[in-house]
Amino acid sequence: MRRRDLLSLISLSLPPLLFDSPFRSLLHAAPAAGGEQDADVVIIGGGLGGCAAALAAARTGCRVVLTEETDWLGGQVSSQAVPPDEHYQIETSGCTASYRELRSAIREYYRQHMPLTAVAHGTKNLNPGGGSVSRICHEPRVAVAALYKLLGPHIASGNLTILLNHRPIAAQTDGDKVLNVTCQNHWTGEKIELSGTSFIDATETGELLPLTGTEYVTGFEAQSETNEPHAPAKAQPNNHQAATWCFPIQYIEGGDFTIPKPEQYDFWQAYVPPLKPAWPGKIFSWTYSNPSTLQPRTLAFDPQKEAAGWWLYRRIAAAKNFLPGAYPGSISLVNWPQNDYLEGNFYDVPGEEQQKHFHGAKQLSLSLMYWMQTEAPRPDGGTGWKGLRLCPEVSGTEDGLAKYPYIRESRRIRARFTVFEQHISKDARMQETGLDADEVKAAAFHDTVGVGSYRLDLHPSTEGDNYIDLASLPFEIPLGALIPQRMKNLYAGCKNLGVTHLSNGCYRLHPVEWNIGESAGMLAAHCHEQKCNGEAIHSSPEKLAAFQKRLEQSGVQLHW
């Protein structure tokens, strides 16, 4: 009866999935007695990589436990509220079959449960928000429902246990092997010890790496280590890409939704990003540094006309796609240079400093909202849009900000293989190969387990670098980048793989993170079945070929 009820729940509308209800407990199997639970694959972190890993492993019949620090699965696509950043071929190529399932589930949710116009309903490649950043800009809460649709059958079968509001606090190892990870419930304080054959770190900041003693790197590597053309002479471990506390906004003509003046508003209103080359002025401005040229660039902002520019860039709900009255106004997502936080890092710092930066990032975003409502210049010569409102019903929070900050750069494993700038940069590859721009390709990896495509895109950093934005080439994901140099049964499941500060700019986006997680989940399942570890598969041509064949059979594209 419980399984039948669960499957019915998954087909229902969104609110029962995301808010308190009698059905909520059906989504999470009870932990084993004594605060312990054993599984074949333990995945810590329920972002896109973690969900993809759980789906891949569960589909093989493995027993899987997936934990998530917040109460929403999906990471950057949901709790961080970032609509997908994807390449132009995404509808037909350059991602896994299961990632296409996720995108289809998002579109089908809108068709089945939302009051679309007839035109929008009949659009094959529906883009609910019509945002310019992606071909499928959508509300974060819909991604959560879509993920449960994919994962639901495995929850019902008992193969998958999901523990929300749990974060890792300790781990036990034996030499080069992880034995268990202890997680704590954020609300109750209760602890659970998770044991397994394989462990996947799919946390946003590589939390398992220090807990397990796995060697890792942070920040900007030295050129002497990587030979990357754009790396500095000396390593800068504390130099991280800016993090951003995103938030959705809606414009309702004639309304007044002005929030109270944030406590740090005066600081942020006067703030000039301390960067080299110099930022063009105050952070609260419609003018910013063009990422590719670093020259001043001005984009329009007009929520009344919904003109191209900042409003259209990440619009996640276009009112015109829905029946009249369904949405009192369109909704856009603020993930802009204006709320990139540069005053410090969110991990590998003392707890008090971390909380200071969390609070500061939230204050920056709230201050930006207040500035837009009260002081921002309008095209008509006036100032401020009082009709802008925060959307707590979209973000799932009381304050209207995302549940979790968008952290672009994680701790990264010291991997069996590391992807460098020169493997994927268009200019570097042209120089190395002597080929013209229309002939050159990214480096081919014999151990490829997936593909991706995105510019080598780094936001301003916490130690003063302005944008680093370079043309890249469609690339492959090497298996060696998912496997630590020493640890035998721990694998990277997201942007904590073997990349550098520079190459991370390509490997951190939605479809790539999903592919990384899916391949890590399949690797963990394969190792469990074969009674071996990832190093054994990676070092054997025969075993590697067999694993790659299995990936292809499951819908993972290995080459462009």
Quickly list DSSP for 423-479.
HHBHHHHHHHH---TTT--PPP-TTEEEEE---EEE--BTTSB--EEE-B--EEEEG
- Judge whether residue 9 has pLDDT over 60: no
Q: DSSP assignment, residue 34?
A: T
The token pair at 147 is 């993920």
Q: How far apart are CA 337 and CA 242, in angstroms?
A: 9
pLDDT at 10: 34
Q: How far apart are CA 78 and CA 377, in angstroms?
A: 31
Q: Is 247 left (phi over 0), alpha (psi -120 to 50) or beta?
A: beta
Query: At CA 287, angle to CA 464 and CA 375, rounded to 5?
Result: 110
Question: In the predicted model, what is the mean pLDDT of residues 337-362?
Answer: 97
CB 155, CB 73: distance < 8 Å? no
CA 338 to chain centroid:
20
Per-residue pLDDT of 514-545, as tens digits, reads 999 999 999 999 999 999 999 999 999 999 99
Question: In the predicted model, what is the mean pLDDT of residues 269-291?
Answer: 98
Q: Which residues contact 559 (CB under 8 A, 6 or more apart)?
A: 444, 448, 451, 476
Q: Which amino acid is at 249?
A: I
CB 544, CB 447: distance < 8 Å? yes
CB 441, CB 429: distance < 8 Å? yes
Q: Give the containing element (helix H, strand E) for 66.
A: strand 64-67
Q: How far apart are CA 280 and CA 520, in angstroms?
A: 42
- Judge whether residue 24 has pLDDT over 60: no
Question: In the predicted model, what is the mean pLDDT of residues 469-481?
Answer: 98
- Judge whether residue 264 has pLDDT over 70: yes
Residue 307's pLDDT band (cuts 50, 70, 90): confident
Q: How far apart are CA 272 and CA 460, in angstroms?
A: 13
Per-residue pLDDT of 328-341, as tens digits, reads 999 999 999 999 99
Q: Which residues contact 179 (CB under 8 A, 6 or more apart)?
A: 171, 172, 173, 195
The model's pTM is: 0.95
CB 9, CB 1: distance < 8 Å? no
CA dihedral of residues 349, 350, 352, 356 (deg, nearest 10): -10
Q: How far apart are CA 272 and CA 268, in angstroms?
A: 8
Start-to-end C-alpha separation, the chain: 46
pLDDT at 287: 98
Q: Which residues contact 126 (CB under 8 A, 6 or more apart)?
A: 107, 110, 111, 116, 120, 136, 321
CB 492, CB 516: distance < 8 Å? yes
Per-residue pLDDT of 308-324, as tens digits, reads 999 999 999 999 999 99
Per-residue pLDDT of 115-151, as tens digits, reads 999 999 999 999 999 999 999 999 999 999 999 999 9
Distances (CA, A) of 191 to 32, 183, 197, 404: 12, 6, 20, 22
CB 234, CB 222: distance < 8 Å? yes
CA 319 to chain centroid:
26
Q: How far apart are CA 326 and CA 15, in angstroms?
A: 16
Distances (CA, A) of 119 to 113, 326, 327, 425, 557: 16, 15, 16, 41, 32
Tokens 């419980």 appear where? 2
CB 98, CB 553: distance < 8 Å? no
Per-residue pLDDT of 397-433, as tens digits, reads 999 999 999 999 999 999 999 999 999 999 999 999 9
501 three-class SS: coil
Per-residue pLDDT of 26-64, as tens digits, reads 444 445 544 999 999 999 999 999 999 999 999 999 999
Please, is 325 exposed, middle or buried when counting C-beta atoms within 10 Å of its C-beta (0-12, 13-18, 19+)? exposed
Query: At CA 290, angle to CA 285 and CA 292, rounded to 5?
Result: 165
Average model confidence (pLDDT) across the chain? 94
Question: In the predicted model, what is the mean pLDDT of residues 474-499?
Answer: 98
pLDDT at 13: 34
Q: Give the containing element (helix H, strand E) for 15.
A: helix 15-18
CB 126, CB 317: distance < 8 Å? no
CB 445, CB 548: distance < 8 Å? no
Q: How far apart are CA 540 and CA 538, in angstroms?
A: 6
- Judge whether residue 11 has pLDDT over 60: no
User: pLDDT over 90 for what percent of the chain?
Assistant: 94
pLDDT at 108: 98
Q: Where are the alpha helices (DSSP H) in 65-139?
A: 97-113, 118-121
Q: How far apart are CA 535 and CA 337, in angstroms?
A: 40
